[in-house]
Amino acid sequence: MEWEKSKLGRIMKYLNEFISYLPVIALKGFGAWLVIGFILNLLGLDILDGTSGYTHLHYYIIAILAVGSAIHFFQKFRDKSK
């Protein structure tokens, strides 16, 4: 297929993979943020200080998906390079 070789085709491939692996990515991100949050708690840091409770959920979801995506795609890259 011609469109699969285009830039849009590559973007759609990664977007499709992101959507199909969303639960796995969310679990990886949640696990990573448990560790990160524990360390920040031990250090006494509050990164959401000064924000309202309404926006916390948005920040949590974005942070979980961002870290989970980074971990997931790094693991796929590492496995592919072996």
The answer as to whether 37 is a domain residue is yes
Residue in the structure block whose two tokens are 């980074």: 70
Pair of tokens at residue 30: 């949640």
pLDDT value of residue 34 = 92
Number of domains in the chain: 1
The answer as to whether 39 is a domain residue is yes
The answer as to whether 77 is a domain residue is yes
Each residue of 5-48: pLDDT tens digit? 677 778 888 888 889 999 999 999 999 999 998 998 899 888 77
* Predicted TM-score of the model (pTM): 0.73
**Cβ–Cβ < 8 Å for 36, 71:** no
Contacts of 1 (CB under 8 A, 6+ apart): 9
- Closest Cα partner for 37 from 80, 76, 67, 5? 67
The answer as to whether 11 is a domain residue is no
**Cβ–Cβ < 8 Å for 72, 28:** yes
DSSP state of 5: G
The answer as to whether 13 is a domain residue is no
Residue-number span of the structural domain to which 31 is assigned: 22-81
The answer as to whether 51 is a domain residue is yes
